[in-house]
Chain A
Amino acid sequence: MLQAIADIVRLDGAEKHFGAVRALNGVDFHVGAGECVGLVGHNGAGKSTLMHMVAGTLRPDGGQIAVRGNAEASYSVARALELGIRCVFQELSLCPNLSVAENTRINHPALAGFGWRRKAADLIQTKLDEIFPDHGISADDVAGDLSIGRRQMVEVARAFTLTREPLHLVILDEPTSSLDAHTAGQLLAFVRRFVTSGGSCILISHVLGEVLQNADRIVVMRDGKVVAADAAGAFDRDKLVAAMGGAEGHQKAAAETTKTEVGALRVRARPARQQDGKELVARAGEIIGLAGLAGHGQTDLLLAIFSAASRAKAGVEVTAPVALVAGDRQADGIFAQWSIAQNIGIRSLQRLRNGLLISPQREAEFADFWKKKIGIRTPDMNNNIFSLSGGNQQKALFARALGSDAEIVLMDDPMRGVDIGTKLEVYDLVREEAAKGRTFLWYTTETEELDNCDQVYVFKNGRIVANLGRDELTEEKIIQSSFGDAA
């Protein structure tokens, strides 16, 4: 059989921009029939964007997509389903108010008419039995009542149910993230059976062992590009880690000599799920890094510290005012209706008052001071915050926190999707402020940012698993700890 025809999906030169950020930068990618392709890469490497394109939920800005050798001009979710391409998305897409059987019905227009409930229940029950023999889920269970692991099982099983539409390719985006080892094993074994019987699969996972053992071919992505692609046998753990992290290495930022004097205690915090005695300690003048894969409890700990500043909380000790720089700007940071100046001033209104009223003059001075200090590129600080580029919006959020009275600044992966120029400016500012005695707790998914830190805590599954001093810090070590499946 010709290779070109055997391809279920082929993307050529796929590109995608989100504002100034290039999420995908000319990616060639294909999946053959009866093949399981493993897709690995760090957070933000472009894996999810690529998969949304294959599933039809995102349109590429450039490049071509072909299914079974036919170029698809107007590709969409509906078209993808028609062609037998399905995706289990990372964010759960069950309706929490519906039962398992009813959720199955949503994905199958054919499940209608007399006796559809029975048919839907049988369909999902059979598939669950096939994949997870001892699943303990009933088709009548309401999805919202199931544990997150069981919801994930339902979602995976639902993707493999078959009625009218064909089924050729299933994309599994972190399918085992909420499953225990036993269930994950069942799922992966099923995936192998599915592939052996001629189906295709794309497996995205941060557990490298899973990918190495189950994929036929592995594609490694980094910075929106495919950096390595080869048969699974050609890789081993170390090679994958090296490909993901950039083996060329990088020199550390000129390390200012390690601080000798010990500052006053600012934060002492233990994650809620921590079982051993490990805890995070931060002192005045320190920059503390929180590392590990995205969503492994770093943000939760930052939020716990934030709320502990205003109300006492068990396991968290905070001794100074706290400000937070949000990473998810839209959801946690920006006030969309307001000007840049108002967005910066909100955390410092007490000091901008003149008697009872906020002084417009002081507010303007405050905004102008930070415009110069942090280099916000705008003709007028009274313009709406959205007139700024993403990086400058982020600078405004930094200005909000640094301009406040807070001695402790929490940073929730704030450099996500920010251009390198802005990053470097902010790094300098953070070091400068730390030298003046401020404490920074810096959660980041970009490993090179950790070079700015005095101490790094690596998180996995909501716990601190490693505590690396400045000298012992290497990217290898962080990746080893965060991908600790084999350890």
Chain B
Amino acid sequence: MNYDIQKIRSYFPVLQQKIHNHPLIYFDNAASAQKPVQVLKAEEQLHNHFYGNIHRAAHFMADKATGEFEAVRTKIQHFIHAELREEIIFTKGTTESVNLVANSFGEKYIQEGDEIIVSEMEHHSNIVPWQLVAGRKNATIVQLPFTDSGELQLDVLEKRINAKTKIIAVAHVSNVLGTINQVEKIIKLAHSKNIPVFIDGAQAVQHLPVDVQQLDADFYAFSAHKMYGPNGVGVLYGKRKWLDKMPPYQGGGEMISEVSFQKTTFNEIPYKFEAGTPNITSVIAYGAAIDLMDETGLQNIGRWEQNLLNYATSKLKEIPGMKIYGEAPEKSSVISFTIKNIHPYDVGMLIDKMGIAVRTGHHCADPVMQHFNVPGTIRISFGMYNTTEEIDLFMEALKKVLAML
């Protein structure tokens, strides 16, 4: 495989540093990814040359910034193969994207007694916004369970869909189990009953090519910071037919067409959903992260990470008492595990002393922890810059930690 790992690593200066006198090994990519120089340079260039508020003024600076900002919208459109650029809405992150749909779609389409199907493996941010809207509307959340290997039970889904079901919310990839869910099948099944589907793609878009038209997703959300982009920016893709009909989420500048104290008319999509000055800097720098992924090729990144996943999984399985959570046949590069009855916090603390960043705890997915009846797990998750050599060092460190505990 033609994958120039040294070149890729050279884009991430953070990886060159030492933590507690050990070279940094960053295995917490599912929480947030590191930022390449391209992203930092894009921010710098904007501030040094053409920063201005967008969509408003006639001057050069504003015009240039607007052009760059809107160019990123088009980049995202192509990145996820959306039909229209207007279907790309910038938000603060996946969480805000979920809240936007839960509130705005919920306001118009969810009534008393209705049901919202949410999968058991969701991140809290794809559960709580739905619970809030269900609470306001006296609607019910219906759970879509998963099996012990970490696969959604589609036969159960079929039984739980009924005339009261208004929307289905499910992750493309689980942040704990790594399962790549069969969202295409779920969407097909839902659409056969005229039910729209919201996909949380926060753990998917950086690992595998996504085509929202092929999936036929009604809504698809993700965050820039997990895709080597800046913090504070996310995307909501929505089919025009829904976005046009949904009421605005927040009021303010930009989202209006005309305002008087008698009546305000709203702007067209996407602006209808982008009230106020957006995160101009981060959106523009996000474009550089998309460019890097496009240049490297998501297929190549995915293949590289699959290799890391397989390598690490087989190494971990050599450890006595190892339990891996999530063993679906289609998995992304996330491994959650526990060893005997050792508390994840102890492992996380000690391994940090050897310069290795892992995640420990419930990963904002309490229902997944409840499913397996564990207080938490240790999670390692890989990105485009990780290597098998790092996995070897991690294994050595893990064995040292286990000898201490």
Chains A and B bind each other: no
